Amino acid sequence: MSIRNKLKEREEARDKAAQGAGGGINAGLPEGVTRYVKASEMADGKTFVMLADPDAWYFYYTHEDGAKYPSRDRYYQKHSCLHSPRKVGEDFDKYTKPNGAACISCKAKAKRKLYFMIPLFDPQYGTWRVFDSKEFHANNLIGDYDKLEKAAKKFRPDYSVVGDAVIIGKTSDGKSYSLQSGDATPEVIQAAATFIGSAEIDYAELANFRDESDLREIIEKAWDEAKLDKSVLGARSSGTTPDSSEPTGAPTEISDEDLPF
Ligand SMILES: [Zn+2]
């Protein structure tokens, strides 16, 4: 099969995964439902069972850049940064700075943003899912998580939010998320417990890392030339580390288009 066809197949597989069609990471979920919990599903608050402590949430980076106003136009296709961990428990500091030797988009000085995949058990579908959360939202959720745990520990010193029901919903201003105590049956809690620390949750697959040739194509096709240094396409990665770090800004709105595809 030609490389053209292979690339087309890979793109189709990614589209399928994003839409929640059958197999792959979405196996076992109904048509149209993906492993990634959508913002719209949590609009009025949705009950989950928390599967990991924030210190064990998987983190990774994406390259993304676009206008916030008046449209949500992207300057190039969002993609996961190759200078990201592939599993839980990696040294945070090791990945804080862009690394042009590991990722050609870092080398092209593409904007880089931190994400967390929060593992959750969804009682509605009886399996695990993830909330692929921007740093800003994760930060807010961790604040609520710690408050909830601290309050509960007064009555039950051994209490942990991990393995317990929580409700995640949008904040009243609609700009972020909140986490509060939820209710679940003992059967749900028991079913969720089997996924705590489960190797079945393949974060590297969920983050959808592409190879360098795919990244080159994205850089080549960037819709706004000023947002990427296309000159990197002329040479292979040489190990320079440009500084493209950016301050953490609060996103102005929540969208389902923020999945890693
Ligand atoms: Zn990168």
pLDDT tens digits, residue range 18-56? 665 555 788 888 888 999 999 999 999 999 999 999 999
Q: Please give the angle made by the CA atoms of 151, 146 and 97, to the nearest 5 degrees.
A: 170
Q: Where are the domains of the chain?
A: 1-31, 35-258
Distance of CA 95 from the midpoint of ligand 1 (Å): 10
The sign of the torsion formed by the CA atoms of 85, 75, 134, 111 equals: positive
Q: Strand (E) positions, the chain?
A: 46-50, 58-63, 79-80, 112-122, 127-134, 165-170, 177-181
Indicate whether 113 pLDDT > 90.
yes
**Structure token digits, residue 183:** 């209710």
pLDDT tens digits, residue range 53-80? 999 999 999 999 887 766 667 888 899 9
Distance of CA 163 from the midpoint of ligand 1 (Å): 34
Neighbouring residues of 32: CB distance < 8 A, sequence distance ≥ 6: 19, 20, 21
Distance of CA 217 from the midpoint of ligand 1 (Å): 14
**Structure token digits, residue 166:** 């929580």
CB 190 within 8 A of CB 123: no
Distance of CA 33 from the midpoint of ligand 1 (Å): 29
Distance of CA 178 from the midpoint of ligand 1 (Å): 29
- Report the SS3 class of residue 153: helix
pLDDT grade for 186, boundaries at 50, 70 and 90: very high
DSSP state of 144: H
Distance of CA 31 from the midpoint of ligand 1 (Å): 32
Distance of CA 180 from the midpoint of ligand 1 (Å): 34
Distance of CA 122 from the midpoint of ligand 1 (Å): 31
